[in-house]
Amino acid sequence: MPKTVDPAALRVTVGQYSSAGRKAANQDFHGAIVPDGAALTMKGVALAVADGISSSPVGHVAGERAVKSFLTDYYCTSDAWTVKTAASRVIDATNSWLHAQSRHVEDRDLAHVTTLSALVLKGSRAYIFHVGDSRISRCVGQDLEPLTDEHRLRPSRR
């Protein structure tokens, strides 16, 4: 049976690339899921990128876990939930898991710490989520337009 294509359906082409920055180790992890059928309609397309802290020997593990958890767990949430509710609950659960992995680590530079930036495209809307000292920007011509600010905790010096 031929597949009927809805001309109004969301179509996305994804390209991904990452390389190490100033440091030799690349702590980045990224991924995307472009589902078919009902999942595309109900959940949309999900993309995520994470950057584990380079001072930690498990920074790359934290980044990979954050992205994989977001991408797989988001699609397991209730279709009755809004994108915001689904994504927020998945991010909170992943954050709790990462925190639990590091609760007995005395040196926080050795903990499971990562940034996470995610995008969900559903219908004609884009939903952005991010945690950590990352920033999401939109490319407009040759310029970057910041859409978010970094989340940074600045401890007071007493």
Query: Model-level pTM greater than 0.95?
Result: no
Q: 3-class SS at 54?
A: coil
SS3 24: coil
- The better pLDDT of the pair 63, 2 is held by 63
Inform me whether the pLDDT recorded for 14 exceeds 60: yes
Contact yes or no for 112/93 (Cβ under 8 A): no
Of 57-61, 69-73, 106-110, 153-157, where does mean pLDDT reach its minimum? Answer: 153-157
Report the run of H or E that residue 48 belongs to, with start and end.
Answer: strand 45-52
Query: Which residues sit opposite 51 in a β-bridge?
Result: 28, 115
Cα(154)–Cα(158) distance, rounded to whole angstroms?
A: 12
Q: Does residue 1 register a pLDDT over 60?
A: no
Nearest Cα neighbor of 66 from 122, 126, 132 is 132
Q: Comparing 12 with 46, which gets the higher pLDDT?
A: 46
> For residue 8, what pLDDT is reported?
63
Per-residue model confidence (pLDDT) at position 153: 65
Alpha-carbon torsion angle 90, 96, 97, 102, nearest 10 = 150
Of residues 147 and 10, which shows the higher confidence score? 147
Provide the pLDDT for residue 46: 97
The first and second tokens of residue 111, run together, are 């903990």
Contact by Cβ (8 Å): 81, 87: no
Q: Which two tokens stand for residue 69?
A: 């958890």
Q: What is the pLDDT of residues 25-45, one digit of tens each?
A: 888 999 999 999 899 999 999
